[in-house]
Amino acid sequence: MVKFITENGQSALNSLLDAKGNYTLLFSVAVRKRMKIGKLGLCTFPEGSYAYTGSAFGRGSSCLGRRILRHTRKDKARRWHIDYLLSDGDVRLTAVVAGAMSQKKECTINLRLKETFRAQTPFSGFGSSDCVEHCCSHLLFLGHARSIVERTIRIYEAEADGEVFVFKFS
């Protein structure tokens, strides 16, 4: 079952506060950007759409709902590679697709997204420093692909053993 949640869906996020699972942030970069990304250094991001896949299997701030809430805020401490990118004014989060799951599937989802969109991995090591599957990157450049949210939902429906949540932002 897929649940669609609007920007004001705080109560839905609260229902995920103890949930564990995987998520994909879908966002766009409005203009070509060159920025420093933590220890990766200076990186150039072409204009277009991107997907970043992660997992949240902890408690408290590391559970699914709180991890998504953190990623939706522009003003935050920059701890992870994705924080640098999402904090930029020319980067706009368009949707988050998340699935309640009993096991980490971020690598599987990342690979399926890469195949589905014929996506490129713009930087080796972006968001995958703790990856056990040795993914090159958990950030994918989708270019100007169509139906991104819908196609991502289908991947989550196939992988999730719980509910799938879709948060759309205007």
pLDDT per position as a tens digit, 112-133: 999 999 999 988 777 766 666 6
What integer pLDDT is reported at residue 109 of this predicted model?
A: 95
How distant, in Å, are the alpha carbons of 21, 77, 130, 134, 162 from that of 102?
7, 29, 19, 21, 8
pLDDT at 50 over 70: yes
Calculate the CA dihedral of residues 48, 53, 56, 60 and round it to 10 degrees.
-10
Kindly report the pTM of this predicted structure: 0.91
Q: Please write the tens of the pLDDT for every residue from 57-116.
A: 988 778 888 888 888 887 888 888 888 899 999 999 999 999 999 999 999 999 999 999
Domain range annotation of the chain? 2-168
Closest to 68 in 3D by CA, of 100, 90, 43, 36: 100
Residue 125 in contact with residue 37, Cβ under 8 Å?
Answer: no
CB of 91 within 8 A of CB of 47?
no
Q: Which of 123, 130, 129, 134 is nearest to 85 (CA)?
A: 123
Residue 23 CA to residue 65 CA, distance in Å, equals: 10
